[in-house]
Amino acid sequence: MSTNQHLVIISLDSLGFNDINEHQSELPTLNKLVNGGTWVKEVSGIYPTLTYPSHTTIITGQYPNVHGIVNNTKIQTTRRSPDWYWYQKDVQVPTLYDLAHKNKMKTAAFLWPVTAGSKITYNLAEIFPNRIWTNQVLVSLKASSPLFILEMNKKYGKLRNGIKQPQLDEFITACAVDTIKNKKPNLTLLHLVDMDSMRHRYGVRSGEAMAALRRLDKHVKQVIDATKEAGTFEDTNFVILGDHYQINVDKMIHLNTLFAKRGWLTGKPDQTIRKDWSVLAKTCDGSTYIYTKDFSQIQRLREVISGVEGVERVYSNEEAIARGADPKCTLMVEAKAGYYFTDEGSRSNVVERVMPEMMGHPDRYQGVHGYDPNKPGYKTTIIFNGPMVKENQTIDGAKLVDEAPTFAKLLGLKFPEPLAGSTIEGIFKD
């Protein structure tokens, strides 16, 4: 079996098994990739099933408690908009793009999470300004490849409207197409967020989300066509994947409001929390971490949380670690489908209905993720296609941690240390 020198990985944020299973006929590009390649139908995500931990698992083959990206955002209780895990320096294990870089391969990434400040050759990092003294241009220049981002912005900046969708995906796809044609990177990582955004705001199976899925199908075609123009198509393996799926919600749980009522923290009207907390909920949307400081009533805490409407299960620290979650948490709480958690500590009620008029405000959604990956009907999916991949094959299931070693093999590389996942050998031609 020969190794091919180009790999294009496209993450369609929130793509689920159900999307391909139920809508394949409406998606000409993905349909062609499925029939001409290998579709691994149901992929089990990591816990919590959030974008940043998931994308880090996808390119490291490790669980969050090993790679270090345990949530989307950091614990910064005094800030209404905490920092995200934007920077690669927080990743504690080798990545696929570092492995490629060490083997003298050119790499490119477009809004791939947790790549700010990395050694990716052509990097347009996912980061946004959340300090009043900075702006998008400055933070992007600092986090990305400066000359590259200036060139892309000059060429395609007119397509963008801040971070609004679908314009952002149009901009990012144009940048990826240009780079593939003109730079011919060996590894291209592309993260498209249109459908995830629509699901959060309008619901998982909404007309808006389905329209986004059809737009994403067209973006995938643009990228494939770019490899044809570049003359690299025959030597390129393609991967189309999801990082998680979503579940519709109509109620939110404010555990920090409950803790404030018990005197375990002080919630402020701007929804920040004073530093002197002893118990803190840190949301992962469909689940939430519980952290404690100088607090001994853990069994009582479990009982209090278990009695809240919408709580499905409370995991101990040991159970959370066994699931691959943050080893520093005291407890981890899973919501029932239809419920999700916020960090807000000064609401009137602990459980509150989500109303359509709330959409557009922070932490107000009609669809979310972050749940236990084993919730029914909640699997993501992955499609492989290219010269190294078997045609017209399906594999019933795999795990998200299996993807990184499989990508490494497609590039003829091998990770230096044992991974949590295993190569999906069934996709490869004999």
Q: For the segment 335-385, what is each residue's pLDDT rounded down to a tens digit?
A: 999 999 999 999 999 999 999 888 888 889 999 999 999 999 999 999 999
Please tell us whether the domain made up of 250-364 is placed in CATH 3.30.465.10. no
Average pLDDT value over all residues in the chain? 94
At position 394, the amino acid (one-letter code) is T
pLDDT at 357: 87
Burial 188-210 (b: 16+ CB within 10 A, else e): bbbbbbbbbbbbbbbbbebeebb
More confident site: 250 or 126: 250
C-beta separation of 412 from 387 below 8 A: no
Could you check whether 6-246+375-427 and 250-364 share the same CATH topology? no
Q: Give the closest residue to 326 by CA, choosing from 43, 14, 53, 45.
A: 53
In tens, the pLDDT along 70-107 reads 999 999 999 888 999 999 999 999 999 999 999 999 99
- pTM (2 decimals)? 0.95
* Confidence grade of residue 1 (pLDDT, cut at 50, 70, 90): very low
Name the class of domain 6-246+375-427.
alpha beta
Token look-up 């375990």 returns: 264
Structure confidence at residue 134 (pLDDT) = 54
Task: Give the domain ranges of the chain.
Answer: 6-246+375-427, 250-364
Peptide bond preceding 146 in cis form (omega within 30 of 0): no
